[in-house]
Structure 1
């Protein structure tokens, strides 16, 4: 199952091996990775692993990582997806290209992913983990109706965990 998710302005499609160069360029941009991957720069091999994990997860469980594009565009807007958060459940994650910031795309894409998880996938809740100081992501998860339930230590400082149930 490789679901394509659509919103009013965006199309989200599962990543493939052909997306490697686009993901490498996107995820190595300093502004993009600031709160993603704990600020680390992913190697090409690590990006291959992320893609392989996503392809496997879509095949077995119906979730993974989607590329985000505008409905009428070809440029990469960003990524959104679901991945396991330790043994707690599925976490929604997203990243946007700086040119796409401030347009509501993170909320729109993350909402589509969360609704896919809570609806067709039938998971009981979706989680998010936000680094302290990432005010933009706090605003996104709050707009998604998520509520904080725990603060945990992270590599870059405290992180707040959020959840939204069905």
Structure 2
């Protein structure tokens, strides 16, 4: 578990599945993904994240607001999938419910996850990537001190060729 002033990054609970499914079914939240997710698909994501945590000790953790215990989405670290051209490595990622946007939660949680990655996990580098058109996530990457690495940009292998979301930009950070 990782805590910030306002947030808790924690393991997933059964009660997180319904609000996560609602978040993943929201077309605005999923605008920079090829499709929204069904309940079964979002549950499968939660299962994969929990499995990753069991194996590696970290994942895209459930994000909870301390003030009221509200589930906001996820933030955390994941090892890169074998087909990702940036692997081997660890990425930082986030996905927040629309009602949590604009409050600085993504940046606050991401900074804590990066600190955990360097100070506790001993990582040498953390990467982040998103569709070229996802300017909101790129702004978070810049706010948390990541550096744009245009030479590492790639076409995401899980996105169909010719799709507007296939081109991805890359940011990285190293311990300071």
Matches within 5 A, 1:96-107: 96-107=96-107
Q: Larger strand proportion, structure 1 or 2?
A: 1
1:51 and 1:63 map into 2 onto residues whose CA distance is: 13
Matches within 5 A, 1:24-35: 24-35=21-32
Q: Where does structure 2 lack aligned partners over 5 or more consecutive residues?
A: 160-164
Q: Where does structure 1 lack aligned partners over 5 or more consecutive residues?
A: none
Verify: 1:129 aligned to 2:129, yes or no.
yes
1:6 and 1:73 map into 2 onto residues whose CA distance is: 14
- When the two chains are superposed, the root-mean-square deviation of aligned CA atoms in Å is 1.7
How many residues are aligned here? 161
Verify: 1:48 aligned to 2:43, yes or no.
yes
Deviations 1:46-103 (A, max 9, x none): 3233222222222221111212122111322221122222323111110111122111
| Alignment TM-score, normalising by the size of structure 1 | 0.87
3-state DSSP of counterpart to 2:28 = helix
Aligned residue in 2 for 1:67 = 62
Aligned residue in 2 for 1:113 = 113
Q: Is the 8 A contact 1:15 1:65 kept in 2?
A: no
Aligned residue in 2 for 1:80 = 75
